[in-house]
A and B are shown apart, each in its own frame.
Chain A
Amino acid sequence: MRPENGERRGWWKSSAAADGEQQLDAVGILLLLPATLLLVVMFIGPVGFAFYLGVTNIALVGPTAQHFHFTGLKNLHRLVNDRLFWESLKLTAIFLGASAVVGVTIIGMALAVLMQHAVTWLRTVVGAIVVVAWMLPPITAALLWYAFSTTGGTLSLLSGSDSDILNDFPMTIVCLANIWSTAGFSMLVLSSGLRTVPAEVLEAGKMEGASRWQVFRSLTLPIMRPTIVTNVLLVTLLSLANFSLIYIMTAGGPGNATNILPIYSYQQAFQFNKLAYGALLGDVVVIIATVFAYLYVRVSRPSRAGYRPQGKLA
């Protein structure tokens, strides 16, 4: 988006060139058409349709699978009185808070800071392990963590007992698994943020006789704040979308101990055949995601040149 100067005619002109000629660019719109159609039909449309399905009586099988109709506030009424829904909402908050907001941020920050100071070979090895953990497909991560924490797994060997730790502390294990599989992302984002902290500022702090911890607390952290906020929001969205990890490890159990909203929604829709109620629960997830996505757009709006939404390529 650099300002246009000199050459004014020509189709390559940026849309930002507001020089009064507001005619429609047919070729441009044609080029944008495939992406727009795809997004409307298979992204925005389904999200909108989900809001409609949420207030109908559609089922997966049976008479109302084909001939469903609007049922007004009936499902909403059910939602408000559904003890499991409120429980699930609480579990979602715990899962996001413990793993995304606290866990991933702290581990990601620790990794980013330690890496700056560690010897090269250790940095390379640990960096590779953490990034591979993040790159592994969700099903592989879930499988690893299931084997790691079930009876006879590495974790129970380490603890010296033969207990099924996944069954005994399901939420803790699921949070740890989420931290394990997302920290690599956080590490990369925060590392690139750390590199933008000017060295002179830190040096000035040291000259004043501040300890390392003081320099970190009162100089590095405040400068890093925007990066940390962006990182927390992104990791929250990533974790909210990480349906597979929990579903494969515990399917929401034991009991309903790890039944976070995306899983409860899937259960209602495809296991209890209540597509409508599942869609409504999904709508609640959309609303939660919307809040975080909105905050994220707000935070990253002062668009620096070349800013990328989720990854940093440079």
Chain B
Amino acid sequence: MIQSASAVADGNAGGPPIADVKKTREWFVTNGLLAIIGLAFLAPMLWLALAAVDANAGWALQLPHFTLANLIAVTRGDYLQALLNTLEISLVATGVSTIAGVFGGYALSRRNIPLSDELMVGVLFLTGIPVAIMIVPVFEVFAKYDLLSLVPTGVFLGVTSLPFALWLIKTAIDAVPKELEEAATIERANILQVILHVTVPVALPGIFAAAIYSFINAWGAFLPPLVLISDPSQATGPLKIYGLIGSAAVRYGDIAAFSIVYSLPVVVLYILMSRPFSGGFSMGGAVKG
């Protein structure tokens, strides 16, 4: 009977009555506390859900004058452009960190790299450095070489995810049986063929995790695009929301509806991610910025 407070609910009435009363009380306390914490976590989300469908939304919490106009408005024009910009930046970032991560992770796992253990410690260390502090020098260089636009910013965001991606992919490749690669080599496959047709498919869950991590990281990035993107037509989702909050006539309903549309892909990706790999996937991301 290991710590099972729900034993009572399971119909286990074998124990003495006093223990039963105690267990029932524990059951109520445990589930009650968890429910209270859950409600506390839910409370801040209420406004978003209500304001998104409210024709007269404001910062205040109120019963909505129901409308779908907000949600329809934010899937068009500027809003759609902002989502496409975010997608572009995120795809570039994902490509950069995943491709460099696969080859680098493979080299660190399989090849004879001098000091590879020390390099991995260095990589682990880099995952802890906040992105915000690189922003002044990166801005300085980007401004000098006229790189203040979407693609270079995407590359930069990809690099900020690279340490964690390298770590994930290297660990995934470590678990691939070497015999598979040996067999392919005997068949005269060259190294690129081995990596792409043998190692990558087997290590795919880990590589996929790294790719999703990079994507979500870039999708949510606020400070790097704020500083590194100068053209308003290239604004990403977060910049759009930030601009809306500060604009003269604030359209609260639009802000709420757009925030939902913008946040949805991240939540969906997380669900996709955690399903096939049996739950518990947690994004690290000291690089959230």
> Which residues of A are interface residues toward B (Cβ below 8 A)?
1, 7, 10-17, 23-25, 27-29, 31-32, 34-36, 38-39, 41-47, 49-50, 53, 58, 107, 110-111, 114-119, 122-123, 125-126, 129-133, 135-140, 143-148, 150-155, 157-158, 177, 180, 183-185, 188-189, 191-192, 199, 202-203, 212, 234, 237-238, 240-244, 247-248, 262, 265-266, 269-270, 275, 278-279, 282-283, 285-286, 289-290, 292-294, 296-297, 300-301, 306-314
Contacts and interface: CB of A to CB of B under 8 A. Distances in A.
A314 B128 CA distance: 22
B220 interface: yes
Nearest to B199: A12
Contacts of A146: 59, 245
B11 interface: no
A114 B6 CA distance: 12
Contacts of B94: none
Contacts of B43: 148, 154-155, 158
B283 A311 contact: yes
Contact of A234 (B45, B58, B286): B286
A304 to B, nearest CB: 11
B270 A15 contact: no
Contacts of A15: 108, 110-113, 116
Given A34-B100, A293-B128, A123 B34 contact: yes
For the complex of A and B, the 10 pairs showing the least CB-CB separation, nearest first, are A310-B284, A28-B111, A152-B60, A293-B128, A35-B104, A137-B220, A126-B38, A241-B130, A282-B133, A49-B137
B248 interface: no
A31 B222 CA distance: 32
A122 B182 CA distance: 49
Interface of B: 2-6, 9, 26, 30-31, 33-35, 37-38, 41-48, 51, 58-61, 96, 99-101, 103-104, 106-114, 116-117, 121, 124-138, 140-141, 155-156, 158-160, 162-164, 166-168, 171, 174-175, 178, 181-182, 185, 191, 205-206, 209, 213, 216, 219-220, 222-223, 227, 237-238, 241-242, 245, 255, 259, 262-263, 266-267, 270, 277-278, 280-289
A191 B282 CA distance: 11
Contacts of B213: 311
Given A132-B267, A148-B44, A31 B30 contact: no
Contacts of A49: 137, 140-141
A241 to B, nearest CB: 4
B241 A139 contact: yes
Contacts, number: 366
B223 A148 contact: no
Contacts of B282: 184-185, 188-189, 310-312
A212 B3 CA distance: 9
A126 B159 contact: no
29 contacts: A12-B182, A16-B117, A25-B112, A27-B191, A39-B162, A111-B37, A117-B5, A126-B37, A137-B219, A140-B48, A143-B48, A151-B60, A152-B58, A152-B59, A153-B59, A157-B61, A199-B2, A237-B128, A241-B286, A243-B289, A262-B132, A265-B132, A265-B133, A285-B132, A289-B130, A293-B129, A296-B124, A310-B285, A313-B205
